[in-house]
């Protein structure tokens, strides 16, 4: 029972993570005068390096947005969250490419077991 209470008290909810994400973006673009980052890998790194509590949150957002229409994603982009349908597509493409590389590497390293 106490374990569940401990998790509930210390677990960061979605709204808090979203606030942290907005804070990181605000600091990067307004305070430090950096340009928006459209590369999904770099964007994820910026979030996680600046706020470790956001580790994995970008992946959650991408998963949540996977069923979202391009129009809805672009509406989010207009709220200055610096997320666009292109960013999501690039991230999905990167996942596909990484998966292919991992599978190829696995087969190349273990080919002797398949012959």
Around Cβ 64, how many Cβ atoms within 10 Å?
A: 10
Render pLDDT for 38-63 as a digit per residue (tens, 0 to 9): 888 888 999 999 999 999 888 887 77
**How far is 98 from 13, CA to CA, in rounded Å?**
29
Helix/strand/coil for 72: helix
Q: Say which residue, 50 or 37, is predicted with more confidence.
A: 50
8 has a pLDDT exceeding 60: no
Residue spans per domain, the chain: 13-114
User: Which pTM was predicted?
Assistant: 0.53
Q: Which of 99, 98, 73 is nearest to 87 (CA)?
A: 73
Confidence class of residue 9 from pLDDT cuts 50, 70 and 90?
A: very low
């Amino acid at each position: 029972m106490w374990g569940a209470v401990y998790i509930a008290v210390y677990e960061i909810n979605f709204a808090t993570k979203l606030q942290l994400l907005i804070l990181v973006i605000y600091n990067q673009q307004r305070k430090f005068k950096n340009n928006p980052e459209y590369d999904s890998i770099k964007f994820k790194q910026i979030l996680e390096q600046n706020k470790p509590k956001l580790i994995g949150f970008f992946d959650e957002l991408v998963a949540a947005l996977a069923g979202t229409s391009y129009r809805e994603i672009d509406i989010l982009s207009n709220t200055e969250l610096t997320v666009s349908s292109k960013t999501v597509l690039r991230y999905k493409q990167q996942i596909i490419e990484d998966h292919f590389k991992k599978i190829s590497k696995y087969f190349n390293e273990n080919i002797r077991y398949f012959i």
